[in-house]
């Protein structure tokens, strides 16, 4: 005879939980052989006693817990037909085992992608407005800055910035009569010889001011002649930056950082004139912001936009034309007649003047100057070509699209962990793989324990 403790007990079949109550002790009376894993236990209860409310038992002599599969009244005794509960019987040994835990309810790694739960089809869209470096209101030549490139007496091209009012003054002075008086106070003769266009390399307009990109003031020269305007000397390039807070997936805090990545999160920059830029989410995972870095080339008008994450890692890059090329022109008359009179060409007149033969340059032509000036149509000399404002209009946006995932069942499915852990440190649901059990149990119990651990069980 030996003791059997009977319990009315509920738990999951794949749980290590044991009864905490003392249970009801009865004596097992059996002269027959029995199986320790699936024993048949006759109990002296009496014919009038109904033990069917008991579904679980413990045999101290064997140190094993059993599920009672069924009761039968045989030979005047109530008999419990049982099957071993290996998870409860070997709970301590299982808990002391270290194994690779794929999923757990008690702990998880939020960077691991969890595909247990499907993605829903109704995304949340967040539109974040980005402050531009210029304003869309009244976008015209009365705002911003003009960058002009001029060739001075030494043949070098220098670049300086002018405000709209300074540029208007420069244009008025550069093509007026009171700047280029060279020959006997005859400005028309100077204009016939000197074309300011050849000393004006470029004019580019930008929609914003220099914002710290300018240097010292400098005189603006066209060849040997001072235009009577001072500009601001600039370097060839300057960098502007803007930091934008990066919205995050609404479920990120609760479900894991893997939701930072596609397909759960998508980011699109709508930023003119650079266009619409899709940002790779792998480079933005864990980043709280992005930085827009715009390197402007004052000479060419080109700009390179670099997007970096909060750690400074490059995310994307786009190039566009930011400056607006300004077309300037000079109205010229052929003061020397149809073929520039006796001189024959502006170049010829220039050569005569350069050699000091001013009289020769105008001999035979002076008497016809009046009539030629009245008869000839003016010609227009231009430099550059106007480019448009349209690409500069429009507000900037960061469009964030977040796809939600279905509700989870943490208690029964856990979350990804993928770490080697002592199993008794992770209460609740666990899914284990490649379990190396060191338990002094039978082969049948070993196979059953491994099967439970590697298909999901509860350590309780």
pLDDT digits (tens, 9 = 90+) for 343-353: 333 333 322 32
Model confidence at 400, in pLDDT bands (50, 70, 90)? very high
The two tokens of residue 39 are 């024993």
pLDDT tens digits for range 250-265: 999 999 999 999 999 9
User: What are the backbone angles phi and psi of residue 446, rounded to the nearest 5°?
Assistant: -60, -45
DSSP 173: H
Mean pLDDT (the chain, rounded)? 82
In 10 A of CB 264, how many CB atoms? 22
**What residue spans define the domains of the chain?**
2-85, 92-116+409-459, 117-332+378-407, 334-376
The 3-state DSSP class for residue 136 equals coil
Confirm if 90 and 402 have CB atoms less than 8 A apart: no
| Segment 89-94 mean pLDDT | 97
Model confidence at 154, in pLDDT bands (50, 70, 90)? confident
Confirm if 78 and 49 have CB atoms less than 8 A apart: yes
DSSP 158: E
With a cut of 50, say whether residue 323 has pLDDT above it: yes
With a cut of 90, say whether residue 159 has pLDDT above it: no
Confirm if 54 and 68 have CB atoms less than 8 A apart: yes
**Run of H or E including 255:** helix 252-255
Confirm if 102 and 94 have CB atoms less than 8 A apart: no
Model confidence at 380, in pLDDT bands (50, 70, 90)? very low
| Segment 118-141 mean pLDDT | 87
The 3-state DSSP class for residue 293 equals strand
Model confidence at 192, in pLDDT bands (50, 70, 90)? low
In 10 A of CB 184, how many CB atoms? 9
**Run of H or E including 22:** none
The two tokens of residue 50 are 């109904």
Confirm if 167 and 232 have CB atoms less than 8 A apart: no
The C-alpha angle with vertex 83 and arms to 79 and 88, in degrees rounded to 5, equals 125
Say which residue the tokens 């008359």 belong to: 333
In 10 A of CB 415, how many CB atoms? 21
**DSSP annotation string for 96-128:** T-EEEEEEESS---TTS---SSPBPS--EEEEE
Phi-psi region of 137 (alpha: psi -120 to 50; beta: other; left: phi over 0): beta
3-state helix, strand, coil in the chain (%, to 5): 20, 40, 40
Residues 6+ apart with CB under 8 A from 56: 6, 7, 8, 9, 19, 65, 66, 67, 68, 85
The two tokens of residue 137 are 């209101």
Of 87-91, 336-340, 386-390, which has the strongest mean pLDDT? 87-91
Model confidence at 106, in pLDDT bands (50, 70, 90)? very high
Q: What are the strands, taking DSSP E only, across 246-374?
A: 265-271, 275-279, 289-297, 302-309, 314-321, 324-325, 328-332
Model confidence at 399, in pLDDT bands (50, 70, 90)? very high
**Run of H or E including 301:** none
pLDDT of the residue at 41: 92
Model confidence at 342, in pLDDT bands (50, 70, 90)? very low
With a cut of 80, say whether residue 213 has pLDDT above it: no
**Run of H or E including 193:** helix 187-193
Model confidence at 186, in pLDDT bands (50, 70, 90)? low
pLDDT tens digits for range 12-42: 999 999 999 988 999 887 767 778 999 999 9
Model confidence at 175, in pLDDT bands (50, 70, 90)? low
pLDDT tens digits for range 222-281: 877 787 888 888 877 888 999 999 999 999 999 999 999 999 999 999 998 898 999 999
The 3-state DSSP class for residue 221 equals strand
pLDDT of the residue at 243: 96
Confirm if 233 and 217 have CB atoms less than 8 A apart: yes
Q: pTM of this prediction?
A: 0.74
The two tokens of residue 221 are 């020269």
**Run of H or E including 9:** none
pLDDT of the residue at 2: 87
CA–CA dist 409, 116 (Å, integer): 10
Nearest of 152, 158, 142, 171 to residue 217 by alpha carbon? 158
What is the torsional sign of CA 346, 352, 353, 355? Answer: positive
CA–CA dist 38, 393 (Å, integer): 82
CA–CA dist 47, 264 (Å, integer): 65
pLDDT of the residue at 366: 38
User: What are the backbone angles phi and psi of residue 14, rounded to the nearest 5°?
Assistant: -95, 45
Nearest of 291, 290, 288, 144 to residue 208 by alpha carbon? 144
With a cut of 50, say whether residue 339 has pLDDT above it: no
Helix and strand counts by DSSP (H, E) for the chain:
10, 26
């Amino acid at each position: 005879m030996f003791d059997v403790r009977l319990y009315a007990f509920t738990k999951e079949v794949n749980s290590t939980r044991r009864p905490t109550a003392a249970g009801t002790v009865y004596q097992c009376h059996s002269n027959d052989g029995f199986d320790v894993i699936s024993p048949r236990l006759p109990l002296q209860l009496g014919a009038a006693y109904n033990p069917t409310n008991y579904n679980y038992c413990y045999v101290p002599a064997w140190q094993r817990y059993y599920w009672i599969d069924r009761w039968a009244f045989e030979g005047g005794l109530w008999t419990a037909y049982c099957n071993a509960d290996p998870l409860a019987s070997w709970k301590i040994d299982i808990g002391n085992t270290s194994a690779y835990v794929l999923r757990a309810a008690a702990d998880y790694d939020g960077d691991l992608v969890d595909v247990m739960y499907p993605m829903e089809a109704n995304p949340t869209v967040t539109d974040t407005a980005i402050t531009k470096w210029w304003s869309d209101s009244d976008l015209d030549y009365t705002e911003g800055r003009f960058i002009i490139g001029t060739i001075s007496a030494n043949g070098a091209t220098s670049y300086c910035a002018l405000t709209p009012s300074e540029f208007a003054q420069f244009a008025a002075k550069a093509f007026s009569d009171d700047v280029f008086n060279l020959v006997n106070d005859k400005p028309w003769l100077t204009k016939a010889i000197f074309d300011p266009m050849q000393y004006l390399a470029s004019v580019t307009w930008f929609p914003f001011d220099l914002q710290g990109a300018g240097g010292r003031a400098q005189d603006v020269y066209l060849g040997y002649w001072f235009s009577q305007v001072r500009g601001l000397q600039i370097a060839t390039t300057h960098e502007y930056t803007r930091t934008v807070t990066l919205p995050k997936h609404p479920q990120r805090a609760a479900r894991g950082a893997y939701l930072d990545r596609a397909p759960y999160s998508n980011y699109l920059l709508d930023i003119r004139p650079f266009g619409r830029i899709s940002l790779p989410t792998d480079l933005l995972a864990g980043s709280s912001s992005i930085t827009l870095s715009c390197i402007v080339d004052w000479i060419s008008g080109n700009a390179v936009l670099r997007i970096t994450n909060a750690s400074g890692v490059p995310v994307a890059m786009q190039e566009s034309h930011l400056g607006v090329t300004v077309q300037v022109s000079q109205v010229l008359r052929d003061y020397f007649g149809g073929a520039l009179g006796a001189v024959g060409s502006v170049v010829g007149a220039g050569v005569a003047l350069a050699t000091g033969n001013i009289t020769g340059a105008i001999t035979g032509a002076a008497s016809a100057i009046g009539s030629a000036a009245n008869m000839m149509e003016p010609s227009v000399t231009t430099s550059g070509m106007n480019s448009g404002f349209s690409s500069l209009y429009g507000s900037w946006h960061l469009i964030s699209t977040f796809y939600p995932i279905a509700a989870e069942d943490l208690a029964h499915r856990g979350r990804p962990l993928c770490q080697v852990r002592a199993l008794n440190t992770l209460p609740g649901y666990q899914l284990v793989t490649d379990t190396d059990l060191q338990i002094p149990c039978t082969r049948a119990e070993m196979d059953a324990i491994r099967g439970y651990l590697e298909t999901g069980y509860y350590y309780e």
